[in-house]
């Protein structure tokens, strides 16, 4: 039976890989969206990491943007959900960085907004947590 943290484990989640026809463009969008830093860049791959010294530094996985030749054609099987303090303001900011609203079949009454980054990769901007949810 496996439950809880297994202290002897040596496996670590290192990064999330994102295919892109233009890794520099994709990384620029996400660097500005998240406020993360570039720690590696060449024409075929770019790595973003959380800000040095931040609570996420060394904890959150890196994001690795890798060059591919084919354009995105179907809905992503994996996407990022972002939880802002102000959903409307964050959606507007991300749209200003190049994101666009998109539909993945969600209904009009959902509490999140679906956007696509400049490569068409979906992301969701969730509603802000309530004070009661934050207190839990």
Q: Which of 71, 88, 111 is the last residue of a domain?
A: 71
> Is residue 76 domain-shared with residue 133, that is, in the same domain?
yes
Answer yes or no: do 57 and 99 share one domain.
Answer: no
What domain range includes position 86?
72-136
Q: pTM here?
A: 0.84
Q: Place 42 in a pLDDT band, splitting at 50, 70 and 90.
A: very high
Contact 86, 74 (CB under 8 A): no
Torsion region of 53: left, alpha or beta (phi above 0 gives left; psi -120 to 50 gives alpha): left
Sheet holding 80-82, edge to edge: 80-82, 122-125, 113-116, 100-101
Q: How many domains does the chain have?
A: 2
The 10s digit of each residue's pLDDT in 61-112 is 999 999 999 998 888 888 999 999 999 999 999 999 999 999 999 999 999 9
Q: In what order do the strands lie in the sheet with 15-20?
A: 15-20, 62-67, 45-49, 37-42
Percent of the chain with pLDDT over 90: 78
Instruction: For residues 46-68, give the mean pLDDT.
Output: 96
pLDDT of residue 133: 82
Check pLDDT > 70 for residue 4: no
- Helices (DSSP H) in the chain: which residue ranges? 23-34, 87-96, 131-135
Residues 34 and 77 in one domain: no
């Amino acid at each position: 039976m496996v439950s809880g943290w297994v202290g002897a484990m040596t496996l670590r989640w290192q990064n999330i890989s994102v295919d892109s026809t233009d890794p520099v463009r994709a990384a620029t969008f996400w660097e500005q969206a998240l406020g993360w830093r570039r720690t590696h860049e060449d024409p075929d791959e770019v790595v973003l990491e959380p800000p040095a010294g931040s609570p996420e530094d060394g904890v959150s996985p890196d994001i690795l943007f890798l060059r591919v030749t084919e354009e995105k054609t179907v809905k992503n099987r994996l996407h990022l959900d972002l939880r802002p303090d102000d959903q409307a303001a964050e959606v507007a900011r991300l749209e200003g960085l190049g994101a666009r609203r998109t539909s993945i079949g969600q209904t009009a009454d959902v509490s999140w907004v679906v956007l696509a980054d400049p490569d068409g990769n979906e992301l969701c901007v969730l509603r802000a947590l309530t004070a009661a949810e934050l207190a839990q």
